[in-house]
């Protein structure tokens, strides 16, 4: 797909993905492109018509959202090695990497895939059922992903100062990214067969109810949506939450995602695609990149309209200035990225929120470390972000080098990383990225990988960052974040006012 993008950029001709199947040698492909160019010259000579652009003309940009967009009020997280935003920041600054073997007993003696490696939570089933009004049997029949997301949503709202959501009179929406964890397989194979017939074995194991459960337990009356667009799900959830806030559909929004791998099935399927790193490390945009490792965990953000946050006196950690979502359309295969789709979503995200791409000083990339994904993403970034006019480098990183790939929840650690980086005005390193891949300088000039912890300043301009996410099936998403307005004193939200006492419920 990177080849197609370069042909289009160089010769301004639209080359369909099927061309690679029909012209499988360099000579055949060159002959095809030469024919397209000859046809174009002949058409111009005969008609004098102007060449039709390969991409549609940009639509007129709508006015930026009143008040500067959407504010991030608080966050929560649960990642390997970090169970709070404060701990996550320390982990990132230290260049942490949690990739390792499968925890003992996780897959209950099931045959392991070849060379299993990943970034795993030590105890994803730790849960205080009584705190959330559930009995132990119901909790055990409920997917740990649903339990973790319920905890994350509750903690994020408490950190934002909304422990009694309905009593505030504000409509709170829930937007959750999640896919299958394999927990139904665990229930089916459990020694206690009755648990698989518990009503919660149905309602507690449907990813499409993960957001609705939060609304039901916490008594929230805003929209409750579960999002599954594969690896872009979390940023698509952010996009939908932002739209809901700006349309007045809700007043606060909990946006989050969670991913657990409770059986070896998902690992085997990923292995079959050739996307997993045989060396057990994600080296995003590194010269030795050979794939990614699966990751576990989740995070949640609480969002509000900026004007409302100001009126309520809420602390603001960062701004979500804009988001955009699209699909690749036809590509080489359902799993293959299309550079045109990625370029378009990047361009539209900045056009529609009125932010100049030149102001972006950092991009948190999707950065899977795969031989196909990284070059295509780098090429798309180079197209959307030419070198900055002042000559300063635009920084680049990927949290997948720290935590692995959280699949449906993959956008959440990247979003939280950027929020925390904006709060601290520092950029943590992406490990395993040196030396950088040779293609990076060629297709994305002006970008520099963040390989060491560093201060983040951009002269007298506010700090602006982009966050990328691309999914199997071609659904792409991009978010534009900016540091909080100077009138706010951004800091991490206060600690929980009511702690969660965890009881251990084995899965």
In the chain, what are the domain boundaries? Answer: 2-47, 67-507
Average pLDDT, the chain: 85
Q: Please check the confidence at residue 58 and state whether its pLDDT lies above 50.
A: no
Structure-block tokens of residue 500: 């969660």
Question: What pTM, to 2 d.p., does this model score?
Answer: 0.85
Angle between helices 2-11 and 26-47 (to 10 degrees): 30
The Cα–Cα gap between 368 and 414 comes to 12
Q: For 301-335, how does the pLDDT look when each residue is reduced to its tens digit (9 = 90+)?
A: 999 999 999 999 999 999 999 999 999 998 777 77
Alpha-carbon torsion angle 222, 227, 233, 234, nearest 10: 20
Question: In this structure, what are the phi and psi dihedrals at residue 21, rounded to the nearest 5 degrees?
Answer: -75, -35
Other CB atoms within 10 A of residue 171 CB: 19
Position with higher pLDDT, 36 vs 309: 309
Supply 36's token pair.
């397209």
Cβ 232 vs Cβ 349: under 8 Å: no
User: Do β-strands 447-449 and 394-397 pair in parallel, antiparallel, or remain unpaired?
Assistant: parallel
- DSSP-based helix, strand, coil % in the chain, nearest 5: 40, 20, 45
Best-predicted range by mean pLDDT (59-63, 113-117, 145-149, 334-338): 145-149
Q: Cβ contacts of residue 362 below 8 Å, gap of 6+? A: 394, 395, 396, 397, 418, 421, 427, 450, 456, 463, 465, 466
DSSP state of 458: B
pLDDT of residue 253: 98
Instruction: Report the distance separating Cα 341 and Cα 364, nearest Å.
Output: 18
Residue 231 annotated as catalytic: yes
pLDDT digits (tens, 9 = 90+) for 269-279: 888 888 999 99
What confidence score (pLDDT) does residue 77 get? 98
pLDDT over threshold 80, residue 13: no
Selecting among 154, 267, 366, 478, the annotated active-site residue is 366
Measured CA to CA, the distance from residue 214 to residue 313 in angstroms comes to: 26
| pLDDT of res. 34 | 58
Write out the two tokens for 109: 């003696």
User: Which residue do the tokens 């929840």 mark?
Assistant: 409
Q: Averaged over 216-239, what is the pLDDT? A: 96
Does the active-site annotation cover 366? yes
In the structure, what pLDDT confidence band is assigned to residue 103 with cuts at 50, 70 and 90? confident
Q: Is the dihedral of CA 88, 90, 95, 100 positive or negative?
A: negative
- pLDDT at site 330: 85
What would the two tokens of residue 413 be? 């650690």
* Three-state SS at 201: helix
CA proximity to 315, closest of 75, 85, 149, 66: 75
Average pLDDT over residues 125-154: 93
Least confident among 83-97, 166-180, 200-214, 237-251:
166-180
Range from 164-173, 223-232, 358-367 carrying the lowest mean pLDDT: 164-173
Taking residues 473-477, what's their average pLDDT? 95
Q: Is 345 left (phi over 0), alpha (psi -120 to 50) or beta?
A: alpha
**Tokens at residue 453, please?**
């912890």
- Interatomic CA distance for residues 15 and 389, integer angstroms: 31
Burial level of 446, CB count in 10 A (0-12/13-18/19+)? middle
If one compares 146 and 111, the residue with the highest pLDDT of the two is: 146
Question: β-pairing, 172-177 with 224-227?
Answer: parallel
Q: What is the DSSP letter of 113?
A: P
Q: Indicate which residue of 77, 231, 250, 282 is catalytic.
A: 231
Could you tell me which CATH class the domain 67-507 is placed in? alpha beta
The pLDDT value recorded for residue 62 is 40
CA distance 37 to 415: 43
Cα distances (Å, whole numbers) of residue 348 to 31, 65, 323, 355, 407: 34, 15, 9, 10, 24
Alpha-carbon dihedral sign for residues 17, 19, 21, 26: negative
User: In this predicted model, which residue has the larger pLDDT, 375 or 197?
Assistant: 375
Tell me which of 383, 405, 478, 488 is the catalytic residue. 405
Q: Which residues contact 209 (CB under 8 A, 6 or more apart)?
A: 146, 203, 226
70 with 353: CB under 8 angstroms? Answer: no
pLDDT value for 401? 96
- % of the chain beyond a pLDDT of 90: 64
Is the torsion defined by CA of 73, 78, 80, 85 positive or negative? Answer: positive
Whether 48 has a pLDDT exceeding 60, the answer reads no
Separation between Cα atoms, residue 221 and residue 104, nearest integer Å = 41
Helix axes 373-384, 2-11, angle to 10 degrees: 30
For the chain, give the percent of residues with pLDDT over 70. Answer: 79
Rg (CA), the chain: 23
* Residue 190 pLDDT > 80: no
For the ranges 31-45, 344-358, 432-446, which has the lowest average pLDDT?
31-45
> How much is the average pLDDT of 153-178?
85
Residue 405 catalytic?
Answer: yes
């Amino acid at each position: 797909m990177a080849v197609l993008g370069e042909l289009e950029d160089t010769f301004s001709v639209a080359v369909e993905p099927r061309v690679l199947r029909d012209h499988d040698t360099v000579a055949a492909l060159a002959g095809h492109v030469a024919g397209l160019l000859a046809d174009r010259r002949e058409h111009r000579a005969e008609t004098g018509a102007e060449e039709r652009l390969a991409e549609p003309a940009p639509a007129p940009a709508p006015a930026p959202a009143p008040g500067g967009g959407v504010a991030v009020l608080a966050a929560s997280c649960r990642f390997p090695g970090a169970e709070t935003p404060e701990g996550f920041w320390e982990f990132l600054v230290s260049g942490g990497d949690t990739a390792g073997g499968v925890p003992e007993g996780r897959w209950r003696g099931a045959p392991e895939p070849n060379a299993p490696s990943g970034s795993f939570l030590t105890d994803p089933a730790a849960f205080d059922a009584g705190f959330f009004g559930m009995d132990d049997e119901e909790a055990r029949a409920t997917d740990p992903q649903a339990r973790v997301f319920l905890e994350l949503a509750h903690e994020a709202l408490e950190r934002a100062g909304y422990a009694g959501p309905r009593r505030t009179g504000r409509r709170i929406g829930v937007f959750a990214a999640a896919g299958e964890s394999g927990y139904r397989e665990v229930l089916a194979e459990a020694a206690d067969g009755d648990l698989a017939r518990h009503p919660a074995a149905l309602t507690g194991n449907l990813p499409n109810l993960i957001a609705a459960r939060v609304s039901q337990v916490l008594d929230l009356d805003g929209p409750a949506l579960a999002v599954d667009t594969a690896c872009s799900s979390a940023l698509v959830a952010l996009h939908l939450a932002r739209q809901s806030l700006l349309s007045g559909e809700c007043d606060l929004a909990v946006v989050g995602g969670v991913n657990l791998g409770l059986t070896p099935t998902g690992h085997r399927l990923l292995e079959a695609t050739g996307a997993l790193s045989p060396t057990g490390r994600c080296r995003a945009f590194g010269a030795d990149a050979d794939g990614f490792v699966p990751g576990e965990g989740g995070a949640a953000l609480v969002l509000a309209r900026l004007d409302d946050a100001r009126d309520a006196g809420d602390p603001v950690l960062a701004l979500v200035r804009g988001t955009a979502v699209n699909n690749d359309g036809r590509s080489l295969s359902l799993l293959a990225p299309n550079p045109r789709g990625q370029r378009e979503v990047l361009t539209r995200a900045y056009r529609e929120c009125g932010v100049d791409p030149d102001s972006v000083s950092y991009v948190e990339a999707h950065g899977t470390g795969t031989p196909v994904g990284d070059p295509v993403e780098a090429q798309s970034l180079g197209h959307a972000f030419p070198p900055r006019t002042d000559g300063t480098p635009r920084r680049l990183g990927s949290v997948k080098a720290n935590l692995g790939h959280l699949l449906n929840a993959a956008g959440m650690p990247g979003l939280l990383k950027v929020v925390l980086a904006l709060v601290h005005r520092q950029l943590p390193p992406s490990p395993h990225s040196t030396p950088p891949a040779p293609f990076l300088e060629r297709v994305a000039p002006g970008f520099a990988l963040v390989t060491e912890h560093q201060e983040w300043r951009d002269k007298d301009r506010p700090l602006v960052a982009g966050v990328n996410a691309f999914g199997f099936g071609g659904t792409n998403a991009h978010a534009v974040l900016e540091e909080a307005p100077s009138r706010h004193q951004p800091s991490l939200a206060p600690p929980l006012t009511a702690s969660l006492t965890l009881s251990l419920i084995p899965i």
